[in-house]
Structure 1
Amino acid sequence: MTAAAPPMSTKALLTDATTVRLRPRYEGSNICTWIGFKHVNYLVEEAVLVHFADSGVPARRLYEEHGLGLDIVSLETRILHAFHMDDVAEAEVVPDTADGDSTLGFRVTLRVDRDGSVLKAVTAKVRVSLRADTYLPEPGGPPAELAPFVVDRLGTEARAAEAAALRVPLPDGGRGDERAVLAALTEGRNAYAWKWTIPYPYCHFTERLQMSGYLRLMEEAKDRFVLDRGISIKTLLDDRRWIPVVPQSSIRVVDEALMEEDLYTVYTVEEIFKDLTYTARMDCYVIRDGALALTATGRITHGYAEIENRRDWRLVPFDRRVLDALGGKPSGT
C-alpha cells in the first residue's frame, strides 16, 4: 500500500530546509570505486526532488494534477571531497528564492563520513522552473503560490536578456550542412564538436531534453575531446594510471531541445591553470529558422589524478604531452 503524500505546503517548499540520506548509484563508479561528477550531480538533483516531495509537491503530482513539469534549469556544483561506491551522503537542501525571482532556488550541501569525521563533500546551487505542459494541455492549473515560477517555455528570461548571443547564423545560407556547421562552430577555437540526434532516454515530460541529459553530454564531450587529441581516458589509464577528476561544473538551460532534434555540441578549452587544471565550456545548439539556437551552456574544470592503489589517488601536474594536447599543439612542438 502506497503511503499518503504529505499535504501541499508552498511555505515549506520556499522556506524549510530538508535533510535526506542518499547513496550514489552503482553505475557511477567507473574507475576503481570513485564516483564520477555526473552521479554526484545526480545526488544533488535527487535531494531537490525529495525536498519537493516532502513539501507535498512531488514531481509526479505537479505534472499529473497541475500540468507542470519540474525542470532543473541551472546547476552549479563544487566537489570538495570524492565520493566512493557505497558511501552514504547526508544531503541538506536550503531554499534560496528571493522576492521577484522567476525560478525556484536551492542551496544543496552533501556531507560524507570519513574515518569518524563528517566532511562537507559537495556544495551546489540549483534553479528550478515549472514548465506548463503543452503536449497534453488539460485543465488543472498551478497553485496560486507557484504561479510566479511557471513558464510556457524554458529559458524565456535568458533569451530575452541575451537574444543576440543565443543565435548564430548558419554558414551555408541556412542549408544546415553538417560538416559546414561543425567547421563554423570550431573555427578559431581550441574545440571539438559533433552532431547528435536526441534520443528519448535523455528526455522527460514526453518531449524535451532534461538536465541529466546535459550532464551526460558534458561527460561525453570530455571523452570525445581527449580521444580526438590522442590522450583518451584509456590511453592515460594504460600509460600512467591517470584519471580525470572534476572539482566544479555548471550547466544552464537557455532554451528547449526536443526529442529527435539534431543537437550540435561544442566543447572548447578556455583556460589552463598552472599545469594543474583546465576549464572547458560546453555549448549546445539546435537549428531553427535558418540559424543555430543555443539551448544550454556550461563549464567544467578538470584535473588529473594518479591511481596509487584501489583506494587512493593523488593529484598530478600536466606533463608536456597533456599540455600540448589540451592546448591544441602538435605533439613535440
Structure 2
Amino acid sequence: MTLGATGTDRTTLREIRPRYEGSNICTWIGFKHVNYLVEEAVLDHLRQLGAPAGKLYERHGLGVDITDIDTKILTALHIDDIATATVREAPDRGDGRRLTVEMTVERDGETVKAVVSKVAVQLRLDPRGHPVAEPPAELAAHVVDRLGAGGTPIPLAPGTDPLDHLTAGANAFGWAWRMPYFYCHFTERVQMSGYLRQMEEIVDLFLADRGVSIKTLLDEQDWIPVVPHSRITILDEARMEETLYTVITVENVFKRLTYTARLDAYVLRDGVLVPTATGRITHGWAVIENRRDWSLVDFDDRLINALNGKEGKSEGRGTTP
C-alpha cells in the first residue's frame, strides 16, 4: 500500500511486507530480504516522485542502480509484519542520489524502529543504441556512463590462481562463480541484489569450511546467526557470465558477541583483478527460545576458534556449486 508523498521535502511513505522466501528459520526475515525491502521502498519513492524505473529505462535509456546500501537491523522482522517505510532525500556526496530509509513495525501496540538504511542511486545510461529521450533535467546530475566509485586493480602474475592470491596470508575464504543472468538486470550488469546473494552465500560457505555450518550449530545448539549490520558498495561493473572472485576476510571478533567480515569481489580482465564491489557484514548468534523469539548468546570456544582460523580451516577456497 502506498501512503504517498508528504509535505515539500520529497519524503514518501509506503506500507511494505517481507516476501515469503526470506523466512528461512522460524518466521524471521534474513538480512538479504530486509535489504530487498529497502530496495523496494527506494523504487517506490522514485515512482511516487514521477521517476519510475520502467519509464526511466524505456523512455530515457536509464537503468536505476543501487550502488551503495548500508543497512542496520534494529528489530527482527517477521513474515506477517507490515512495515512502514519512510524514504527521505539525503545530502549529495557525489556518488549518486542519496536517500535514507527507515522502517517501523508495530510491537505490542507500540511503533518500533526496525531498520535504518542509507542508499546511493545512480542512473546508468544504456549504450545499446536504441533511440531515447533526453533525461529529465532534475535527474541529469545522477546519470553516469559506468557504475561505481572506483577501486584499485590488482595485477596478477601469469599462472597465478586468483583465489590463492587474494586469500594468501589472511584469515579469509574465497569463492569463484560464473555470474548467471538472474543476478543481473538491464540486460548485462550484476545488480545490487546479486551482490547481496553473494554475501549471503559466501558467509554460508565460509562457516561450513570452518566446521561451524549453519545447520551444525542449529542441530547441535539451536543457534542461528543474526545480522545487525551489512553494507555493500559497487566499485565497478561486473557483467553477465563473467567469473566473480569473492573473498570474505574476518576483520574483527568483538569479545564473544559479534564478528565483522569484509567482502571483496573481483573480475579478472587481461591479467588484472578489477574490484567490482566491497562491503562488510556483522554477525552475532542467537538461541531459538520458541517459534517466535530468540535471544543473543556469547560465542563458545568452538565458534571463536573457527572464526579466528585456529581450527576447522581448509585451504580457504570454494568453487562453483
Q: Which residue of structure 1 aligns with residue 257 of structure 2?
A: 276
How far apart, in 1, do the equivalents of 2:134 and 2:179 lie? 29
Deviation at 1:141, TM superposition (A): 2.2
CA contact (8 A) 1:189 1:268 kept: yes
Normalising by the residue count of structure 1, what TM-score does the alignment of the two structures yield? 0.90
- For residue 87 of structure 2, the aligned residue among 53, 78, 93 is 93
How far apart, in 2, do the equivalents of 1:94 and 1:246 lie? 24
Residue type of the alignment partner of 1:309: N
Q: Which residue of structure 2 aligns with residue 69 of structure 1?
A: 63
Q: Which residue of structure 2 aligns with residue 201 of structure 1?
A: 182
Deviation at 1:200, TM superposition (A): 0.5
Residue type of the alignment partner of 2:99: F
- For residue 236 of structure 2, the aligned residue among 255, 258, 261 is 255
- For residue 107 of structure 1, the aligned residue among 97, 100, 111 is 100
Q: 1:252-290 CA distances to partner (integer Å, 9 max, x unpaired)?
A: 001000000010000111000011000000000001132
Q: Which residue of structure 2 aligns with residue 320 of structure 1?
A: 301
After the TM superposition, which segments of 4 or more aligned residues of structure 1 sit over 2 Å from their partners? Answer: 135-139
Q: 1:109 to 1:217 in 2, by over 3 A?
A: same
Gaps of 5+ in 2: 313-321
1:293-304 matched pairs, under 5 angstroms: 293-304=274-285
Q: Which residue of structure 1 aligns with residue 44 of structure 2?
A: 50
Q: Which residue of structure 2 aligns with residue 3 of structure 1?
A: none
Residue 123 in structure 1 maps to residue 123 in structure 2: no
CA contact (8 A) 1:208 1:256 kept: yes
CA contact (8 A) 2:95 2:120 kept: no
Deviation at 1:106, TM superposition (A): 0.4
CA contact (8 A) 2:223 2:285 kept: yes
1:1-333 matched pairs, under 5 angstroms: 15-98=9-92, 101-155=94-148, 158-159=149-150, 162=151, 166-170=152-156, 172-173=157-158, 175=159, 180-330=161-311
How far apart, in 1, do the equivalents of 2:9 and 2:110 lie? 29
How far apart, in 1, do the equivalents of 2:128 and 2:83 lie? 36
Deviation at 1:139, TM superposition (A): 3.0
CA contact (8 A) 1:135 1:206 kept: no
How far apart, in 2, do the equivalents of 1:101 and 1:292 lie? 26
CA contact (8 A) 2:210 2:311 kept: no
Q: 1:174-224 CA distances to partner (integer Å, 9 max, x unpaired)?
A: x5x5xx211111001111101100000110000100001111110001100
Residue type of the alignment partner of 1:167: P
How far apart, in 1, do the equivalents of 2:134 and 2:205 lie? 43
Q: 1:84-109 CA distances to partner (integer Å, 9 max, x unpaired)?
A: 111010000001143x7351010100
CA contact (8 A) 1:73 1:252 kept: yes
How far apart, in 1, do the equivalents of 2:163 and 2:235 lie? 21
Q: 1:138-167 CA distances to partner (integer Å, 9 max, x unpaired)?
A: 232211221111000001xx22xx5xxx21
Q: 1:101 to 1:168 in 2, by over 3 A?
A: closer
Deviation at 1:135, TM superposition (A): 2.7
CA contact (8 A) 2:236 2:276 kept: yes
CA contact (8 A) 1:242 1:305 kept: yes
CA contact (8 A) 1:102 1:148 kept: no
Residue type of the alignment partner of 2:285: Y
SS where residue 113 of structure 1 aligns?
strand
SS where residue 205 of structure 2 aligns?
helix
How far apart, in 2, do the equivalents of 1:130 and 1:97 lie? 17
How far apart, in 2, do the equivalents of 1:290 and 1:206 lie? 26
Deviation at 1:15, TM superposition (A): 3.9
How far apart, in 2, do the equivalents of 1:81 and 1:47 lie? 18
SS where residue 328 of structure 1 aligns?
coil
Normalising by the residue count of structure 2, what TM-score does the alignment of the two structures yield? 0.93
Structure (1/2) with the larger helix percentage = 1
Deviation at 1:137, TM superposition (A): 4.3
How far apart, in 2, do the equivalents of 1:235 and 1:278 lie? 18
SS where residue 261 of structure 2 aligns?
strand
Task: Kindly report the root-mean-square deviation, in angstroms, between the aligned alpha carbons of the 2 structures.
Answer: 1.7
CA contact (8 A) 1:97 1:103 kept: no
SS where residue 260 of structure 1 aligns?
coil
Gaps of 5+ in 1: 1-5
CA contact (8 A) 2:265 2:277 kept: yes
**Count of residue correspondences:** 308
